Amino acid sequence: EADIYQTPRYLVIGTGKKITLECSQTMGHDKMYWYQQDPGMELHLIHYSYGVNSTEKGDLSSESTVSRIRTEHFPLTLESARPSHTSQYLCASSEYPPRQGMNTEAFFGQGTRLTVV
Amino acid sequence: RKEVEQDPGPFNVPEGATVAFNCTYSNSASQSFFWYRQDCRKEPKLLMSVYSSGNEDGRFTAQLNRASQYISLLIRDSKLSDSATYLCVVRNFNKFYFGSGTKLNVKP
């Protein structure tokens, strides 16, 4: 089992509320990612980080923000939730390949299913 | 153009069948290749890495053709428990790109 945890697993919240989705990993991975996935659809990268104090926007534009103050922690924040933010948010982490030619996979948390009403 | 393209399926097969999935990727500089499995409303989990020499894990065989930028997954003797969505994944430098997934339904 991967040592990457997301909380909460499910969240139903009203429009306009500020929310933070938590993601923590105990594997010491430098790289962490946030993906957004609607039911039956593909994963879209919305944020990633190469290490502490490094954050980058992903390929899908998102109104959310992230921070990386500690290696193990990569929270995602929505300042004002809207119904269009309803989706599943998946956090992942990986390590740098220790040597050329090695495949190092991404490990996923169990996801947060967010519903904004 | 998408980084990774897959046939969405669904593939509906009887138990015991052999089924093959394919995907193509657009960036010839891609470094690592994987097949993930995702069950309904769950997170993706690594099924197997894919190497140029081809690799096998029990009933599953993966192949990579770098010249054609083509990845395949073969499942032999399908089980009911193989029903899931199979994601083709490519790593370019520090980012992972996921295909939209191929849905497999194994019927009794």
Chain B touched by A109 (CB under 8 Å): yes
Cα A24 from Cα B61, distance rounded (Å): 33
Q: Is the peptide bond before B10 cis (omega within 30 degrees of 0)?
A: yes
Q: What is the mean pLDDT of chain A?
A: 92
Structure tokens at A25: 């990993």
pLDDT at A32 over 80: yes
- Sheet with A19-25: list strands edge to edge: A4-7, A19-25, A76-78, A65-66
Q: How confident is the model at residue A75 (pLDDT cuts 50, 70, 90)?
A: very high
Q: What angle do CA B98, B102, B105 make, to 5 degrees?
A: 145
Question: In the prediction, which pLDDT does B92 show?
Answer: 86
Query: In this structure, what is the dihedral angle of CA atoms B84, A42, B47, A35, given to the nearest 10 degrees?
Result: -130
**Residues of chain A positioned with their CB less than 8 A from the CB of B66:** none
B96 touches chain A (CB under 8 A): yes
Phi, psi for B82 (deg, rounded to 5):
-80, -10
Q: How confident is the model at residue A61 (pLDDT cuts 50, 70, 90)?
A: confident
**In chain B, pLDDT over 70 holds for what percent of residues?**
100
Per-residue confidence (pLDDT) for residue A98, from 0 to 100: 58
Report yes or no: B35 at the A interface, CB cutoff 8 Å: no
Report which of residues B78 and A105 the model is more confident about. B78
Closest approach of B16 to chain A, Cα-based (Å): 26
Coil, strand or helix at A83: helix
Chain A residues 44-103 within an 8 A CB cutoff of chain B: 45, 48, 50, 88, 90, 92, 94, 97, 103
Interface of B with A in 53-82 (CB under 8 A): none
All residues of chain B having their beta carbon less than 8 Å from the beta carbon of residue A106 are 46, 89, 96
Which residues in chain B have Cβ-Cβ distances shorter than 8 Å to A110? 42-43
pLDDT at position A1 is: 60
State the DSSP string of B70-100.
Answer: EEEEEE-S--GGG-EEEEEEEEETTEEEE--
Confidence at residue A96, expressed as pLDDT on a 0 to 100 scale: 74
Q: How confident is the model at residue A108 (pLDDT cuts 50, 70, 90)?
A: very high
Task: Answer whether A63's CB lies under 8 Å from A116's CB.
Answer: no
- Determine the distance in angstroms separating the CA of B66 from the nearest CA of chain A, rounded to an integer: 13
pLDDT tens-digit map of B14-57: 999 999 999 999 999 998 999 999 999 899 999 999 998 889 99
End-to-end CA distance of chain A: 33
B8 closest CA partner among B73, B100, B106: B100
Q: How high is the pLDDT of residue B75?
A: 98
Q: What is the mean pLDDT of residues A42-52?
A: 94
**A48, A92, A105 ranked by CB distance to B49: nearest:** A105
